[in-house]
A = this chain, B = another copy of it.
Amino acid sequence: MTHAPLRFGLIGTGRIGQVHAANIAANRDTTLSWVADPFVDGARSVTESFGGRVTADADELFAADDVDAVLIASPTPTHVDLIEQAVDRGIPVLCEKPIDLDIARVEALRPKVAAAGVPVALGFNRRFDPAFVEVRARVAAGEIGALEQLTIISRDPSAPPAAYVAVSGGIFRDMTIHDFDMARFFLPDIVEVSAVGSTTFDQGAREHGDFDTAVVTLRAASGAVVTIINSRHSAVGYDQRLEAFGALGTLQVANRSTSLVRLSTAERVEATAPYEDFFLQRYAEAYGAELRAFVELVRDGASASPTFDDGRAALLLADAAQRSATERVAVTVSLD
């Protein structure tokens, strides 16, 4: 069956909004109808490249009759209101993570989302990375037997500015939240969180009571244990590795180098180029796949897309990690 393209309203035209705009334009099942941003020049620049009409006001976008779905890529504090507005109008939503930094606002919105029956997907892009998808499928297929340990090493290339740290909600809600979702991609039923945070290099983090270094251990209902190792910087580039350890073997995701070339000299052999810069490069394929999955969700109701409740679960884990790192106790969680 042929479908008319899904017409998107995009809210927010920062770095990640631009990625989504490009993907919406490149996907033959989607088009860009409206782009909303109070910074109108940013929105205009996006529409010039990828089509659509411009507005400074998201309300105008919601009121338009040619918006089949909304992609929310605006600042985090606006997410809850925008999701609610979309749900009220029955418009499917793909919202960038996190839903909010305040779990109370998420819980307040939750019943309405559940009752509305409108698809609300969260932008946990890593769930669509071909390598992670492959490992999960092979674990599910029993290739390494029962999953006993999952180790996620996740380090950003460089620490964000202090101004960003101040409003980020802290490393667990801002950065580790992706890893919490990745943990739940493999082991949804997390029951306990232990976290250690440290500040080893970033003065900005220290000033705002945040950490630049963190290790989080999660225990799943099955007894499997997840370890997440984070740093806000990485000299070698964006470090995104995962190891699924099972009774019969191990599946590992290696970093992706920017080159196939290896250099050997008298000092060092088999050296290759640094890892891919950052998430826009490393997860370029994932963003495209995320959009395709969302289209399927809207059209067929069935989808691999992470849900509103997945977004909530990740935030609950982040809150628990924050408490664990602060109070130095393991924190029991219930994600139901």
Contacts and interface: CB of A to CB of B under 8 A. Distances in A.
A273 to B, nearest CB: 7
Interface residues of A, number: 71
A269 B254 CA distance: 12
Contacts of A261: 131, 134-135, 138, 251-254
Contact of A200 (B148, B196, B273): B148
A266 B249 contact: yes
A259 interface: yes
Given A134-B261, A148-B231, A269-B275, A249 B225 contact: no
A3 interface: no
Contacts of A302: none
Interface in A136-152: 138, 143-146, 148-149, 151
A292 B53 CA distance: 31
B235 A266 contact: yes
Interface stretch (A14-22, A67-75, A211-219): A211-219
Contacts of A200: 146, 148, 222-225
A137 to B, nearest CB: 10
A34 interface: no
Given A151-B229, A217-B217, A328-B330, A236 B251 contact: no
Interface in A216-265: 217, 219, 222-225, 227, 229, 231, 233-237, 245-257, 259-265
Given A148-B213, A217-B215, A231-B149, A253 B260 contact: yes
Contact of A131 (B246, B250, B259): B259
A272 B262 contact: no
A269 B271 contact: yes
A201 interface: yes
Interface in A167-207: 192, 194, 196, 198-201
Given A131-B260, A249-B266, 19 more contacts: A131-B259, A135-B261, A144-B235, A149-B213, A192-B328, A194-B217, A196-B330, A200-B224, A213-B223, A213-B225, A236-B249, A236-B269, A248-B266, A251-B264, A252-B263, A254-B261, A269-B274, A270-B272, A329-B330
A76 B213 CA distance: 38
Contacts of A265: 144, 235-236, 248-250
Nearest to A26: B26
A249 B155 CA distance: 12
A77 interface: no
Interface in A259-305: 259-275
A130 interface: yes
Contacts of A130: 259-260
5 contacts: A237-B266, A250-B264, A251-B261, A252-B263, A269-B272
A298 to B, nearest CB: 25
Given A131-B259, A138-B263, A271 B271 contact: yes
A239 B9 CA distance: 45
A265 B267 CA distance: 14
